[in-house]
Amino acid sequence: MDSIKEFVWDIIGYLIPGLYLFILLYICLDNSFIDNLNIVSNFQIWTVIVVSYILGYAIYGLGALKERIRRDKSYIKIIELRVRNRMAFNIVSKDIISKFSNTKTDFNFDDATVRDFRSIAMGLFPESEKKIYTFTFRSDISNHAGNTSFLFGLIGLINVILKCIFSFYLFKTNTLFIILYVCLIISYFLFRETRNKFYAISINLPFSIYYIHINYNESRYRSDNHSDDS
């Protein structure tokens, strides 16, 4: 059942962004390019699904390339830097180092990233993985939708300019679609806020759970000692 769930999540995670791009293309492409497009038959419906799934991988790669180019300005780096400054991370990372530094391992904690500590924390509390991955999934979907919206809206506006200058166009360029392209670009900033919020939760949550566990054990230890003294 877990394998089936992971497979379904994988399909949905790539299919939804790809289908979103496919729908935008279908709506915005000039009629001369889609006159012969018919998706009524079952075979063509499956074709749309397969193409959307492949487009989803392309969108994922585009997002990864974008964040790699941005380097330290990537939202991933910025959010993880904020996490490093949180009290929960500092306490948890020190606790993890104290527990594992003397074990026989080649892992160098001096070079460990936030995600490295996060993976260890998640491994110690596997029951929290489902909730954490849910927020990660939402963040990825928001990221892909935002990148797709911005890129498509930008290309649409460039297409409008090309039509005015060279009479060359692939997308529809009437007033309604110009408004749509502008709205797509604006929607990127909304998707960005959603992406950042869910990604921050997915990174912070393992440390918060671990931190609560540490405090619970300390409180229990103090309570037991107090009872013994009494």
pLDDT digits (tens, 9 = 90+) for 64-111: 999 999 988 999 999 999 998 888 888 888 888 877 766 666 666 667
Question: pLDDT higher for 144 or 97?
Answer: 144
Task: Please state the rounded mean pLDDT for residues 127-139.
Answer: 85
Structural domain boundaries in the chain? 2-229
Question: pLDDT higher for 8 or 177?
Answer: 177
Query: At 102, phi and psi to the nearest 5?
Result: -95, 0
Contact 26, 51 (CB under 8 A): no
For residue 16, give every residue at least 6 positions away whose Cβ sits within 8 Å of its Cβ, in sequence order, or none.
56, 141, 144
pLDDT category, 5, cuts 50, 70, 90? low
For residue 177, give every residue at least 6 positions away whose Cβ sits within 8 Å of its Cβ, in sequence order, or none.
28, 156, 171
Say what the pLDDT of residue 39 is. 45
Instruction: Give SS3 for 29.
Output: strand
Question: pLDDT higher for 223 or 179?
Answer: 179
Rounded Cα–Cα distance for residues 62 and 106 (Å): 34
For residue 179, give every residue at least 6 positions away whose Cβ sits within 8 Å of its Cβ, in sequence order, or none.
none
Average pLDDT, the chain: 82
What pTM was computed for the model? 0.81
The residue assigned the tokens 């692939």 is: 170
Question: pLDDT higher for 31 or 89?
Answer: 89
Say what the pLDDT of residue 44 is. 73
| Rg for the chain, CA atoms, rounded | 24
Q: Does 24 score more than 70 pLDDT?
A: yes
